[in-house]
Amino acid sequence: MKQQKTLPATAANVRRVARHLRAGGIAAFPTETVYGLGALFSDERAVCRVFEVKRRPSFDPLIVHVASLAQARALWKEVPPAAEKLMKKFWPGPLSIVLPKAGGVPDVVTSGLDTVAVRMPDHPAALALIRISGPLAAPSANYFGYTSPTEAAPVAEDFGKKVPFVLDGGPSRVGVESTVVKVEAGRVVLLRPGGVTVEEMERVLGSRVRTAAKTGKMESPGRLKSHYAPSAPLVLMEGPAALFVKKLRAWSLRRARRPRLALIVFSGNGFEACYDLFAVRAALSPKGDFYEAASLLFQVMRKIDKMKPDAILAEPFPEKGLGRAIADRLRKASGGKKGWRSFTHIFRER
Ligand code: TXA
Ligand code: MG
């Protein structure tokens, strides 16, 4: 295949892409969280191609996407009651469940682990595709470590003809990846915060969801410190907005040449007075809605990155509800850079 095709997700195009997948190809497809880069889970060669194209290290396992409960059950050894409850309530939806895998799941999919993550995406095109093709192993359709795509265009731009088909199902509604949980000895453990909140799961389970202990052992590589990162350094602000803004203005006045700065804030409250210091700025949800903010986060990060700022300053999000997933992505995008000293450090290096 010489060319890449971005195809609107019509029934005919879904069938065409499903045929391509069944013939051992790889293709990008829309989900409600972010776009995925899929291959038939059972086709080891195609799955390897996904790792290769994405430049993803082989130790980072993939999520298998299904269109029915029967497809999910066939991938796992058994399904404990807590997992049943979660599937019943949140599928189709942004929740991936990790359980011991059945015999037929190749090691390349799970990076040699004896568990497999499975989810049923809540997107009509994804479900239609998987109904025809069968379960798809798919990571987010971005280069490893970089910002996930929530639209078809950035997938096409990033990969070019290396990904022959991009099925365009419009912008992803949720905008952050699925929540990843592991069910172990009847307990639900959070491996990655995402589109389904801890609070929602606890309500359904009637028990606490534990956070994976920081054992140093890599339980879910999505928990690596630096991930989802734009090319410009991103620094999380700390402390009261007003104080940060004041420091920034004084610092900016002292400098002969003003750097190009970008700003990402939640509602914008408290930051309006410093907008003039930024070449680019984005308030993710002026009305303070986590869902709106999540749906725009990666799109905004990509847009800002294209403007090649010298640095991006971001406001930390409250660690509750969907805010936890947004806070997590911003923290990973920052690679641990936070506070005033980290910010000024960027400019001293030049
Ligand atoms: O919303 C999503 O989850 C998107 C869309 C395309 O479905 N997919 C996605 O995939 O974000 P990816 O590959 O970028 O992230 C999958 C995460 C990784 O952090 C991986 O380590 C973890 O899930 N994971 C997969 N299988 C696992 C397993 N068996 N045990 C623990 N973690 C696992
Ligand atoms: Mg990813």
> Tens-of-pLDDT digits for all 350 residues of the chain?
568 899 999 999 999 999 999 999 999 999 999 999 999 999 999 999 999 999 999 999 999 999 999 999 999 999 999 999 999 999 999 999 999 999 999 999 999 999 999 999 999 999 999 999 999 999 999 999 999 999 999 999 999 999 999 999 999 999 999 999 999 999 999 999 999 999 999 999 999 999 976 544 445 555 555 677 788 999 999 988 888 889 999 999 988 888 999 999 999 998 888 899 999 999 999 999 999 999 999 999 999 999 999 999 999 999 999 999 999 999 999 999 999 999 999 987 44
Measured CA to CA in angstroms, residue 142 lies from 11, 56, 168 at distances of 25, 10, 15
Q: Which ligand is nearest to the CA of 228?
A: 2
Q: What 8-state DSSP symbol labels residue 338?
A: B
Q: Which ligand is nearest to the CA of 227?
A: 2
Ligand 1 lining (C-beta closer than 6 Å): 31, 33-34, 36, 60-63, 94, 96, 98, 110, 113, 115-117, 121, 138-140, 177-178, 180, 191-192, 219-222
**Euclidean distance between CA atoms 12 and 9, whole angstroms:** 8
Q: What 8-state DSSP symbol labels residue 217?
A: S
Give residue 182's identity as a one-letter amino acid code: K
Ligand 1 pocket check: which of 140, 144, 196 to mutate, most ligand atoms within 8 Å of Cβ? 140
**Euclidean distance between CA atoms 56 and 51, whole angstroms:** 5
**Euclidean distance between CA atoms 166 and 14, whole angstroms:** 10
Ligand 1 centroid – CA 60 distance (Å) = 8
Contact of 240 with 223, CB cutoff 8 Å: no
Report the Cα–Cα distance between both ends of the chain, in Å, rounded: 44
Report the SS3 class of residue 334: helix
- CA 252, distance to chain mean position in Å, is 34
